[in-house]
Structure 1
Amino acid sequence: MLENLKPKEATAIVNSLLGGVVPKLGVQHITVGRSPEVEAFVHALDDVKNGHSLVKFWIGDFGAGKSFMLHLLNTVALKQKFVVANADFTPDNRLYANDGKAVALYAAIMDNIAIQTKPEGGALATLLEKWIEQVIAKTAQTHGISLTDIRQPTHLPLIQTAIMQTIQELTDVGGFDFGMVVLKYYEGYVTGDEQLRRNALKWLKGEYRTKTEARQDLGVREIIHDLNYYDMLKNFCRLFVSMGYSGFMINLDEAINLYKISTAAMREKNYEKILTIYNDCFQGKINHLFLNFAGTRDVLENERRGLFSYQALKSRLETNKFETAGVRDFAQPVIRLRPLTHNEVFVLLQKLRAIFDFNYKTQVPVSDTDIQAFMEEMFNKPGASEFLTPREVIRDFLNILSLLRQNPGLDKQQLFGDIQIRDERPNESAVDALVDSIEIL
């Protein structure tokens, strides 16, 4: 049950789940009941490796495992040699804006770029240096210069020309400034000028707010902003593939924050941006790009403020009418996450008990029979069928394990009996009322 589990992963799993969030590491060790979805995702990754681009929408109730699924997809994609990035939509992060909120989403994506050797994120600098080393090696080979000599100042123009030429071949929009900034990064890289490298990274991550500041620091005319950030993401996708990576996968969670945008016009602009990305991917305008969105059923289906309120998206995202609970179509853009069965929850809690014991080097006195008793108490509580989510089950179970580890004499049955079911869902009716009142005003 604990095959290849590392101590760092065990700690991340226990601490994160106790805190009510999905662990960044080790999610593959607590995966149950998602085999068909993962298998379909692996096939989709193969398509993206072969040059296609895809968009998927992972839809489920609050606490149903959407964020967990995205983290699991990360783990799978990293092993398939993808560059991956994660970001959450927030009130200050969105796809379309004219006040810096779109470039803020871009900055969050770039800040969380991960590769297999750096799965926790922050891998942009590592990737840039790897790419620069590839350009240096290729230039040395082309001109018959040793790898040692090519780094001498006399050969700097050769490297600069090669970098700019390669960037121009890879980029469609903004290539000149993009290439100039990469040159500045190279200059800081070979001379040990850390400030110059930081400034170049700051530009590439979309953190400059004025052209004047960027021109003073880097000598470039443009910055990454709300209207061009998507072009830069496509440029990076091509760059990563040119380095030998399979593609670029971006996960965008908490789509409820697009649904909550207070003005209908701004929501529509964001949905229009989703449509643009969707069309680019499925019409072959960009290669090797994979975007995943995660949201609740209201985010998708609400015809006043959800994605279905934008007719062009509704026509593309409606569920296959021949799909049933027993016959699923995982090739369609929308994947609906079904609740875990009781048997799957039981297996999950067994895994968590083993990971908890491994992490604390102990053996908490909770048997399989105790797990069954815990589940019976939880699922038979008033309100369980309506409000109970995997997140709450997991957190309550780990809280009980934590108490028993520190207080072995506690009565397990009493702890199970003290469980209370809470409605942890956002009050979406209140959100609806608030947004509607703002729109009326």
Structure 2
Amino acid sequence: MKIKKRDSSAILNSLAGGVVPNRGIQHIMVGRADEARQIMTDLDNVKKGSSVIKFFIGPFGSGKSFIHGFIKQLAFNEKFVVTSADFTPERRLYGTEGKAVALYSELMKNLSTSTQPEGNALPSILDKWINDVQTKIMADKEYGTVEFDNPDFVKDVEKEITNVVSKMDDLTGGFDFARILILYFKGFVQDNQDLQRRVLRWLRGEYGTRTEAKADLGVRDIIDDNNWYNYIKIVSQFVKQIGYSGLVVNLDEAINLYKITHPQTRDKNYETILKIYNDTLQGNIEGLYITFGGTVEFLEDERRGLFSYGALKRRLETNRFETNEFRDLSQPVIKLTPLKSDETFLLLQKLRDIHAAHLDYQTTITDDEIKRFIIKEYNRPGASEHLTVGDIIRGFLGALNILHQNPNYNREDVFGKEEIQESQSSTTYSRFSRTEG
């Protein structure tokens, strides 16, 4: 297998640790071809000016986090800015005592681009934009070079920046956002890193009081629990204005909204989802692709899930003509099922080859041994109720490590005996297929 060392390292280390790799997902993508095509269609529509909301719903271990990782990689290829956050008891769509703005701050911290995929890309996004504006002004006005000591050059750059950010004045919060960006440019010109840090602190929603923000920056408002979503919309507009395709926001662990015990607070969170849903589908916002990852209970429980909120239930009910064979992936809700047995088999084949390529050795693991490994895993007590594909992956990578480092290790301890009765193999494998499918 031809794979970059950095990609193979990310894949093996991440999957062994039970998390989704930030790189190289295309090398291990199996069983999601239809979803991938729909995601590409959605991203293309967002590039053309629309906005999209999607709910990826499935049981634990069905691949929701993996889909989010795949979306991130596809979005990078299409020149999107991407961010993500998990819901927690302290990070919500609606809340008091900083619980909603904490979600916004996490999203701003995790802003990433193809050149800075690990997050914290906000400063580089702003700096690249300013550098691009300078290059444009140099060409348009025929300046020989960047001339920060030339007041005319600085004035022309500031005028161009003002022209871009003034387009957001009509959005709620857009005026202060524009003023903040101009302050960032002044800090850039003056090499005033303290001013730039204060601007970044404001943009990340880290000012606790308006008084402090006014003293530091002269702006009249801050990003807080009440207005944070307005600034997500502003950011999506801004990144499109400066040359990106749009903003992708992946929100995971939505079960933590379902777990909110106070009914009014839970409904307020669902009301925010309804607002986002309406904004995206009615064309009130441009350049935003936002996804939620949650369990079936989070969606369909009529006592505490999204279906407990009547307006959302009407909007999110599955197309009544959809079947397991004939799916409608254009609807807001996409239901995920764990990988089927043949797809898991293909995935383990890929991991076997990636492991060998990464450590530069010739693998001796046969396809039959991989099949026996899967069967052996599903024959363990309680496996049918609790074993996930992620568990199988971690176990398989652990086995590869042991066998590579200890060539004399008894392979039967890993893969089981070769003389498994054909009837047992067939029965277990078909049960596995039904369970995963």
Global fold match (TM > 0.5): yes
Residue type at the aligned position of 2:143: S
Give the distance between the partners of 1:307 and 1:147, measured in 2 at CA. 59
Give the distance between the partners of 2:146 and 2:317, measured in 1 at CA. 60
* Partner residue in 2 for 1:422: none
**Displacement after TM superposition at 1:159 (Å):** 3.5
Residue type at the aligned position of 1:345: T
* Partner residue in 2 for 1:97: 95
1:327 pairs with 2:326? yes
* Partner residue in 2 for 1:109: 107
**Displacement after TM superposition at 1:271 (Å):** 0.3
**Displacement after TM superposition at 1:406 (Å):** 2.3
Residue type at the aligned position of 1:218: L
1:152 pairs with 2:167? no
- TM (norm. structure 2) is 0.91
- TM (norm. structure 1) is 0.90
Q: How does 1:20-419 map to 2 (within 5 A)?
A: 20-139=18-137, 144=141, 146=143, 148=145, 151-155=148-152, 156-171=154-169, 172-363=171-362, 365-416=364-415
Residue type at the aligned position of 1:32: V
Give the distance between the partners of 2:227 and 2:161, measured in 1 at CA. 22
Q: What are the superposed Cα offsets for residues 197-229 of structure 1, whole Å, 9 maximum, x if unpaired?
A: 111111111111122222232222211111111
Give the distance between the partners of 1:316 and 1:121, measured in 2 at CA. 33
**Displacement after TM superposition at 1:147 (Å):** 5.6
Residue type at the aligned position of 1:91: P
Give the distance between the partners of 1:248 and 1:122, measured in 2 at CA. 15
Residue type at the aligned position of 2:173: G
Three-state SS of the structure 2 residue aligned to 1:151 is: coil
- Check conservation: 2:164, 2:241, Cα contact below 8 A: no
Give the distance between the partners of 2:352 and 2:406, measured in 1 at CA. 16
- Check conservation: 2:369, 2:415, Cα contact below 8 A: no
Residue type at the aligned position of 1:148: T
- Check conservation: 2:61, 2:338, Cα contact below 8 A: no
Q: Which piece of structure 1 moves more, 147-156 or 6-15?
A: 147-156
Percent identity of the aligned residues? 47
- Check conservation: 1:364, 1:404, Cα contact below 8 A: no
- Check conservation: 2:57, 2:296, Cα contact below 8 A: yes
**Displacement after TM superposition at 1:372 (Å):** 1.1
- Check conservation: 2:51, 2:285, Cα contact below 8 A: yes
Give the distance between the partners of 1:193 and 1:41, measured in 2 at CA. 42
- Check conservation: 2:83, 2:107, Cα contact below 8 A: yes
- Check conservation: 1:185, 1:197, Cα contact below 8 A: yes
Give the distance between the partners of 2:73 and 2:283, measured in 1 at CA. 26
Give the distance between the partners of 1:230 and 1:208, measured in 2 at CA. 16
**Displacement after TM superposition at 1:235 (Å):** 1.1
Q: What are the superposed Cα offsets for residues 182-211 of structure 1, whole Å, 9 maximum, x if unpaired?
A: 122112212222222111111111111122
**Displacement after TM superposition at 1:149 (Å):** 5.9
Residue type at the aligned position of 1:189: F
Give the distance between the partners of 1:160 and 1:339, measured in 2 at CA. 52
**Displacement after TM superposition at 1:403 (Å):** 1.8
Give the distance between the partners of 2:30 and 2:66, measured in 1 at CA. 11
Give the distance between the partners of 2:177 and 2:145, measured in 1 at CA. 27
Residue type at the aligned position of 2:281: F
Cα 1:416/1:91, change in 2 over 3 Å: farther
**Displacement after TM superposition at 1:54 (Å):** 0.7
Three-state SS of the structure 1 residue aligned to 2:226 is: coil
**Displacement after TM superposition at 1:154 (Å):** 1.7
- Check conservation: 1:140, 1:150, Cα contact below 8 A: no
- Check conservation: 2:205, 2:222, Cα contact below 8 A: yes
Cα 1:389/1:147, change in 2 over 3 Å: farther
- Check conservation: 1:364, 1:401, Cα contact below 8 A: no
* Partner residue in 2 for 1:421: none
Q: Which piece of structure 1 moves more, 251-260 or 241-250?
A: 241-250
- Check conservation: 2:75, 2:82, Cα contact below 8 A: yes
Give the distance between the partners of 2:416 and 2:310, measured in 1 at CA. 49
Give the distance between the partners of 1:76 and 1:334, measured in 2 at CA. 19
* Partner residue in 2 for 1:6: 4
**Displacement after TM superposition at 1:73 (Å):** 0.9
**Displacement after TM superposition at 1:68 (Å):** 0.4
Q: What are the superposed Cα offsets for residues 316-341 of structure 1, whole Å, 9 maximum, x if unpaired?
A: 11111111111111011000112211
Three-state SS of the structure 2 residue aligned to 1:195 is: helix
Q: What are the superposed Cα offsets for residues 96-121 of structure 1, whole Å, 9 maximum, x if unpaired?
A: 11211111111111111111222222
Gaps in structure 2 of 5+ consecutive residues: 418-437
Aligned residues: 415
Q: Which piece of structure 1 moves more, 379-388 or 10-19?
A: 379-388
